[in-house]
Structure 1
């Protein structure tokens, strides 16, 4: 259900917030977003032994499970003193995660990747499950992230200061090369540019090495030995040097100390990501859990969300896996860190990445923000304002039941059947608007929730042109032949209208269907 009043630039934005159970949302997105997501990042609830708020239904009862898993005997007597750390403790978490990851894989592009944050409790189990869903060959890396610093003296044995981020590809064969983006200060030295890219002039001479050969300068001077009579070592082989000279990659500069041989040091494509997120690496300032909390505190001036991931961490993952205009998804979106990370990346680099964030409306106990989704929506709105002049926005949707009545399969008595048929003369649920119907039809047609829609008037009726008229939707309660003749002027691929709009006029419906078929238009009613 669209919620324009909670959105920003609803008509134009391609960013999505969907409020609802992520399992149901992932099911509904299968057709529209199949193979379209470049990167998924999720930070699911860790298995602390508490009950999960996600309302999945498990077929087996606890007593049945304990019995056949050998944790209780036939009389219900426990055979293990540590049942909470065995069997079902892991099984419930894995049962919650498995269908979500299975559906998520369908949404990934062929060169797409997924990152999953996890701690040591379920790390090994998660790896085994992902090997089954994504394929062991598509496991790319397990990143180790230092999520806290200091303290830990109250730990039982060892102070754990890290978490894991497990990375899998949809198809490792299709995955492009991964490189970390360069920081601005690193790029400053690459001031020159030619048709091949950016570079700077660097000395060809090296203090150590085994590339010994004479080089003749423009005035005939031969460079072969340094001032102490030792042979000069060059950066590259003699064969490569001659090739570089021919290609203009080498220059000779006359200095006070004689000739200097220089070559074009070209900007590398990037640096390979490192598997350990430490301060000494290029992952400096990628943050800890406490820095994530500080970001929330600074934005809201109160601690309203526990242990959020830092924005810098997600920005780093986005930076070396996406190219600039793809979809990034987070279906355990929490406070909206991933959405803020995408917006900041766009604002800093001029890219056009889009996000899809899904979150269950979990109660917070805070009257200012009653649900986690309220925090997320406000965080994104504030991030958009921070962008100053950004044309971006976000479309907010809420998971709900279908706008159309569901037929009761248990109707078997004649009286009840007659009543049911009367109810279905109008099959739309009371209180639903045309906009609500419109987006359900779009979703069921396999089109994006962020698709462009134009509302126009034809023959006294309102019609919706979706994707510049490729799909035309009419939700009027009464239709005429003239309306459909006007619709055909757009040369649509398919046309959808309400079945109830033809009530009492079966001839019109039959004629319209034939007319559409003649013009090669797919026509259907709902």
Structure 2
């Protein structure tokens, strides 16, 4: 039974952090204040001391609006995500999500459900090339600001920024989104962020602050073009950077390795058909003699002259018992160690990503044009590039998030990777419905905004993958949800006409909304996965919604009887 109070808001990050502090350091709280001097004493009591730095000249990175950026990331959202079945694919079975809306508000709405559950985040945010941003956050009420902009359409202005605000606006846009994104990562999760040299430095600094400098993994260099381009006044810019940070770096030691190719695997040519797989033989000798011969099953294998066994006598016999040592019939030949292919971690990744391995923008654009037509994405990321990151960091049923999803390359890559290794990864894509130019080929083809292109790309890519592979079990669907204000009517009384105002509140749903909209809002605010199936039942004229095979039972009708209440218990 879920007893959480539904207050219409998303996860309150500030209250949760304060609650954690109260559990760790209850003695520093006095009524509604924190005694920072006492906190300092507690932190300095262990072997490692943490000083409170009050020096005005300490190293610090700030800009106009940074405080508001932090505050807006911590302010709960009162919005919701409304289901849109008609634009979805395989609604009843898919576990993938495509969400239209301002990613700042959407990230807030995902906090309860996906906190600590995302294995990999990849984003390709707007590069700061001197234009006004579509993302115009409003620190007082960003949801209302989003709805107001949505009515007018989201467009990018070509107006050049003044030099004083050139970096500021971009930082104010990125900071709260990255701060919220960090909360969603698993303890062994990672984030990849594509960027060019306009904001590479600033992005590195704010990521060090948000994720922690000690959780920096590396900066990949992707060779984005196969030939020199006249794209700079002085030199050909042939690469972009992709920053990588871990949620907790110490938890990903065994990741970031690529599978060995078949040529390397061919070295593992022996197989005892004992279920352990293929292995190769490696030398057992090293350094000085250990001073013992191997005696096993009545045979003696003498220690080589001037060389010693790699293992102590105790460990050697333990390995023999485990079947890890190859003992030849001819005792004049040396025993060897069985190195199994299954024990090999793979090849460590390099920071240089050449185009012949992960693709380049020209080929990526041509492939996308073949799939959906000559539309608006001049520099779409290659599917192989995202697949490289999926290979390095994900497996099985991991969840992948992209909240600047653009042409939906991430979804395409997830589906292809699942076919490649028989995985069951799920994707969550978030994209602002930015309008296409009325003069563009995309608009003429019926795509009024970027989301329409992205959704169509997923539909066609999924169908093509199944056609080419015959893998009909692959999840190529996605549920579409759209950011909107709450489905529950606000209490805003008119005291001069209070009677009629009260009567109007008997129906709490906003005009144009339905019960299914409200069911999903309840799931979202409780932190229940909105990809779970919902079954509808009727009992004595009442409608019951069973979420996730009884994980939650919802009845939104008035005057619920005892019989209906009992039927809810039976369904549960």
Per the normalisation by structure 1, the TM-score is 0.77
Q: How does 1:295-310 map to 2 (within 5 A)?
A: 295-310=367-382
Q: Once the two structures are superposed, what CA deviation does each residue of 1:208-246 show, in whole Å capped at 9, x if it has no partner?
A: x86789989998897958xxxxx8x89957868777556
Residue 401 in 1 paired to residue 401 in 2? no
Q: RMSD value over aligned CA atoms?
A: 3.1
- Residue 126 (structure 2) aligned to one of 45, 58, 62: 45
Partner of residue 13 from structure 1, selected from 83, 94, 99: 94
- Among 335, 340, 362, which residue is 2:412 paired with? 340
1:374 aligned residue (452, 463, 486): 452
1:455-470 counterparts in 2 under 5 A?
Answer: 455-470=536-551
> Which whole-Å CA distance do the structure 2 matches of 1:85 and 1:10 have between them?
46
**Aligned-pair CA distance for 1:355:** 0.6
- Contact conserved, 2:487 with 2:509, CA < 8 A, in 1? yes
**Based on CA coordinates, which of the two structures has the bigger radius of gyration?**
1
Task: Kindly provide the CA deviation profile for residues 55-89 of structure 1, in whole angstroms up to 9, marking residues without a partner as x.
Answer: 31369xxxxxxxxxxxxxxxxxxxxxxx9574421
Deviates more, 1:350-359 or 1:24-33: 24-33
* Counterpart check, 1:89 vs 2:166: yes
Greater strand percent: which structure? 1
Report the CA distance shift for 1:176/1:474 in structure 2 as closer, same or farther (over 3 A): farther
Specify every segment of 5 or more residues in structure 2 that has no aligned partner in the other structure, as ranges.
1-81, 141-159, 467-471
Alignment CA distance shift 1:426-1:151 (3 Å): same
Change (3 A) 1:25 1:43: same
CA distance in 2, matches of 1:181, 1:235: 32
- Structure 1 alignment gaps of length 5 or more: 60-82, 226-230, 493-526
Q: Which moved more, 1:269-278 or 1:417-426?
A: 417-426
Maintained 8 Å contact 2:124/2:193: yes
Call closer, same or farther: CA 1:309–1:197 in 2, change over 3 Å: farther
1:122, distance to aligned residue in structure 2 (A): 0.7
Partner SS, residue 13 of structure 1? coil
Cα displacement (A) at 1:180: 2.4
Pick the aligned partner of 1:430 from 511, 523, 527: 511
Measure, in 2, the Cα distance between the counterparts of 1:309 and 1:390. 27
Distance 2:310 2:273 in 1: 22
Counterpart-to-counterpart distance in 1, 2:304 and 2:562? 91
Deviation at 1:391, TM superposition (A): 4.4
CA contact (8 A) 1:384 1:390 kept: no
Quick one: structure 1 residues 212 and 278, their matched pair in 2 at CA, closer, same or farther if it must change by over 3 Å?
Answer: farther
The answer to whether structure 1 residue 132 and structure 2 residue 209 are counterparts is: yes
Worse overlay, 173-182 or 14-23: 173-182
The answer for the alignment partner of 1:2 in structure 2 is: 83
Distance 1:484 1:224 in 2: 81
SS in 2 for 1:344: helix
More helix by proportion, 1 or 2? 2
Which residue in 2 is equivalent to 1:175? 252
- The answer to which of 370-379 and 91-100 deviates more is 370-379
Is structure 2 residue 195 aligned with structure 1 residue 112? no
The question of 1:274 aligning with 2:350 is answered: yes
Contact 1:211–1:238 (CA under 8 A) maintained in structure 2: no
Name the structure 2 match of 1:27: 108
Match of 2:424 among 352, 376, 392: 352
Secondary structure class of the residue paired with 2:168: helix
